[in-house]
Amino acid sequence: MTESPSLHPFTLLFVAALLLSVALRFWLASRQVRHVARHRGAVPNGFADRIGLAAHQRAADYTIARVRLGIVETVVSAVLLIGFTMLGGLQWLMGAAQAIAPGSPAIASAIFVALVVLTGAIVDLPIEAWRRFRLEQRFGFNRMTPALFVADTLKGALVGAALGLPLLALVLWLMRASGELWWLWTWIAWMAFNLAVMVLFPTVIAPLFNRFEPLPEGEVRDRVQALLSRCGFRARGLFVMDGSRRSAHGNAYFTGLGRARRIVFFDTLLARLDADEIEAVLAHELGHFKLRHIPKRIALTFGISLAGLWLLGWLSRQPWFYQALGLTPEPAMADAAALVLFFLALPVFAFPLQPLFALASRRHEFQADAFAAAQTDPKHLASALVKLYEDNASTLTPDPVHSTFHDSHPPAVQRIGRLTAAPAT
């Protein structure tokens, strides 16, 4: 007789972890809303001469609106997860997949995983549309038309299918054909896939969504090339991306690996910052490469994925893992069931570890700031950051506990404080 999922110890552990995760997210969100609202009435010391009260209050209101939408996302995600597991949603989708491909477990397995992903995407779509056309529109950031939103969504789905379905087929085949060490071969395939995507993204994937034009000749290009020469950095090109088609937010980033590396500036960033500030922002991004932050993050990601796949390899052999999460697959469908259950349950148990990853990211940001301060005048990076905080409506007064959990970048007061104290080059 099959043990009832509601009575299994792992079921209770899963539900308790989910409730704890939701409660912790709610508590952090409420702290952020209260803290930002409490400091809404005055610009922090050190910023009053550079950011006006109206801009500070706009950033506070934008932050609060985003946090409240995040609460809705948390509730929807939790309900969907319960629907998938405890309420039998996954079992129903598995039956639907088998009905679509009767007598072909391999095809049915791939369809099952695709149906789970598609269901999650459909549930997320209204929230993303609300974020874009209500929240971002309200604060003047959205420049995307409904037609472009639909086009991006469809292109994203097609690209995801073109990349994801072959990978899924390979993983399912490895799980069937590679014995108990399938997780190790899958990890090797996963590493190769990710590295290939990093190489292809700048020249094949990104141009499907945005236009990239060479950085025009002039002072900015000359300053950027001089900085790259001083730092001994080589890239395939300097490009401007038409970010303004979709958003008023500005940014700059490095992309690609090896000889495929590119430096990309949002057109909105170039329109807002002067040559000194652009050089300083690029020096910060260059710091991540010179200090080997990118390889370290890739290595950490691959190390965690290895441990996760090893754990999945063990869990996939435990009948209680499936039963406790509301799924009783046929043996031929067990591999796909294990994949889905693992990636649905993992975030529930991993969320309390998030501050560790945020801490490592903030440390890297401080180090990249220090590198930039050694290559350019630190006041230029400070000036650029202040403009970006204002233009992106980033709050200057985040709740410290919420920031510890969620923020990959240090609070503005800390970053600007360090740069202000740094000696000029």
**Does 288 appear as a known binding residue?**
yes
Three-state DSSP state, 49: coil
Residues 141/247, Cβ–Cβ less than 8 Å: yes
DSSP labels for 95-127?
HHHHHHSTT-HHHHHHHHHHHHHHHHHHHHHHH
Instruction: Name 370's Cβ contacts closer than 8 Å, sequence gap at least 6.
Output: 287, 418, 422
Describe the strand order of the beta sheet including 238-241 as a list of residue ranges: 212-214, 238-241, 262-266, 252-255
The Cα–Cα gap between 310 and 421 comes to: 47
Q: Does the annotation flag 284 for ligand binding?
A: yes
369 in active site = yes
The first and second tokens of residue 60, run together, are 């506070």
267 is catalytic: no
C-alpha–C-alpha distance, residues 2 and 171, integer Å: 29
Q: Which of 420, 397, 412 is nearest to 362 (CA)?
A: 412
First to last CA, the chain: 74
Task: Point out the catalytic residue in the list 136, 279, 369, 390.
Answer: 369
CB 411 within 8 A of CB 403: yes
Give the annotated binding-site residues.
284, 288, 365
Give the annotated binding-site residues for Zn(2+).
284, 288, 365
The residues annotated with a catalytic role in the active site are: 285, 369
